[in-house]
Amino acid sequence: MDWKNFFRSEIEPLQPYQPGLREEQIREIAETLVIHKLSSNESPFPPFPSALAAMEASLAGLNEYSDGSCYQLKQGLAQQYGVPSEQIMVGNGTNELLMLLAETCLTSESRVAYCWPSFIVYRMAAQIVGAAYDEVPLTTDGRFDLEALLAAIKPETKLVFICSPNNPTGGIITQEEFERFMAHVPEQVLVVLDLAYNEFVTDSHHLKPWGFYDGRRPLVVLHTFSKIYGLAGTRIGYGFAPEPVIKAIDKVREPFNVNTVAQVGALASLGQDEELERRRKDNAAERARLIEALERLGIRHFASQANFVWVFVPEAEKTFEQLLKRGVIVRPFAAAGGLRVGVGSKESTLATIAAFEQLFDPSATKGT
C-alpha cells in the first residue's frame, strides 16, 4: 500500500490537535506533589448539583440511544434565549459545530477569514475541506481587529470566524466595533461568532449579539457548556443560526452526535443565574489577583475578560518547562512568544504567582 498517496491531499498540512498536558504526564518531572492543571481553560468548579443529579439519573437508560434531535435541550435553550428551537443546533462541543459549518458551507474554491492567534479549530476546519484561509493579525492589545478583518474579505470568502473573548489572548470586541463590522460585512459572508468564554466577561462594553441575531441575517452565535458550567468532560456546545443553516448541518452531522448524559446535564444547568454570577465574580477576583502579581513582577500581559491570561515571556518554551517543575501546567505558544495561563481556584492562582516569583523575582520568596 502506498500510504503517502492514499489519503486526501487536503489533510497533509494538518497537525493533530494537542490537548493541554495532564497531571499524570508531569508527575516524574514536577518537584512537588501538588499539580495545578491550568492548560485547558477548564473551570475549577464542578457541574451544578442539579446537573450531577440529572446525569446520575440518566445512567440507567444508557442502553438506549440518545435523542438525536436534542429536543428537550433545544426547548430549554429556546425558552432561555427567546429563539425558535428550529434555529438551535447542538453539537459534541463547539468544535464539532465549527467543523460542521465548514463541511456544509465550504469547498476548495472558498475562503475563510479570522484573526490570529486564535482558536486553532478555525484553521483546521478550513484545511479539512481544502478551503483557503486568511489570518489577520490581532490588534496590539490582543483583540480581533474587525476593520482589518473586513479588509481581508474577498469575493470567495464564505465564513468569517470571530472569537470574543479571544482564545488565547482574552481580549474582547466592543458593541460599537461589532455594530460597525456588521454594517459593512458583505452579504455573501456567514459570520460565526464564537462566545465560548462569554459568561466570564464583566466588562459592560462587550458585544451583545442579540441586537443582531434575527434568524434571517447570516449570523451564527456559538456557546458552550464546557467552561463556566463545568461540563467540559461531557462535550456539549450549542449555537443559534438561520434555519437553512440548521437544516444543512442536520444533513451531515452524525446521528446521535450528543450523548444522553451531556444532554440532561446541560438542560439541568439552565436557569442557574445566581450560581453563574457567583462563578463569574470568583473568576474575576482570581484573574485580578494574577494580573496584579504579573504587573508587580513587571511581566507584560494582555488585559483579559476570560478565564485565562496571556503572558509574554522571553523564552516561552523554557518558562513553560520551568513552571512544570513547580507543578503549574500552562499552555505555551512559543511561536507567538507567550503563555496562556489559566485562571483556576485561589489555591491554583497563589501557586502560579509563587512560581512566577521564583522565576522572575527570586528575592520575593526569600525567607518565606
In this prediction, residue 211 carries a pLDDT of 85
For the segment 145-158, the average pLDDT, to the nearest whole number, is 98
pLDDT score at 358: 96
Name the CATH architecture for the domain at 19-46+273-361. Answer: Alpha-Beta Complex (3.90)
Nearest residue to 128 via CA among 16, 277, 19, 44: 16
- DSSP assignment of 84-115, as one string? -GGGEEEESHHHHHHHHHHHHH--TT-EEEEE
Cα–Cα nearest to 168, from 298, 332, 43: 332
Q: Is the pLDDT of residue 367 over 50?
A: no
Q: What is the pLDDT of residues 220-232, one digit of tens each?
A: 999 999 999 999 9
What is the C-alpha to C-alpha distance for residues 163 and 170, in angstroms, rounded to an integer?
Answer: 9
pLDDT score at 362: 67
> Are the beta carbons of 322 and 359 closer than 8 angstroms?
yes
Give the mean model confidence (pLDDT) for residues 294-314.
96
Q: What is the pLDDT of residue 30?
A: 81
The domain locations on the chain are 19-46+273-361, 49-269
Helix (H, G, I), strand (E, B) or coil at 333: strand
- Distance (Å, whole) CA 88 – CA 246: 7
User: pLDDT > 70: what percent of the chain?
Assistant: 98
Chain-wide mean pLDDT for the chain?
95
State the sign of the Cα–Cα–Cα–Cα dihedral 34, 35, 41, 43.
Answer: negative
Indicate the burial class of 112 (C-beta count within 10 angstroms; 0-12, 13-18, 19 or more).
Answer: buried
Cell 481553560 belongs to residue:
41
Cis geometry, peptide bond prior to residue 117 (ω within 30 degrees of 0): yes
Please state, in angstroms and rounded to a whole number, the distance separating the CA atoms of residues 146 and 73: 33
- Three cell numbers, residue 21: 498536558
> What pLDDT is attached to residue 11?
82
Fold that domain 49-269 belongs to in CATH: Aspartate Aminotransferase; domain 2 (3.40.640)
Q: How confident is the model at residue 168 (pLDDT cuts 50, 70, 90)?
A: very high
Amino acid 310: pLDDT: 98
Count Cβ atoms below 10 Å from residue 45 Cβ, excluding itself: 17
Q: What is the pLDDT of residues 223-259, one digit of tens each?
A: 999 999 999 999 999 999 999 999 999 999 999 999 9
**Does residue 318 carry a pLDDT above 60?**
yes
When pLDDT is averaged across residues 106-121 and rounded to a whole number, the result is 97
Give the three-class secondary structure for 83. coil
Q: Over 50: is that where the pLDDT of 311 sits?
A: yes
Kindly report the pTM of this predicted structure.
0.94
Position 364 pLDDT exceeds 90: no
Q: What is the DSSP letter of 21?
A: P
Q: What is the pLDDT of residues 190-209, one digit of tens each?
A: 999 999 999 999 999 999 98
Q: What pLDDT score was predicted for residue 368?
A: 43
Quote the pLDDT of residue 291. Answer: 98
Is the pLDDT at 50 greater than 70, yes or no? yes
Averaged pLDDT for residues 133-157: 98
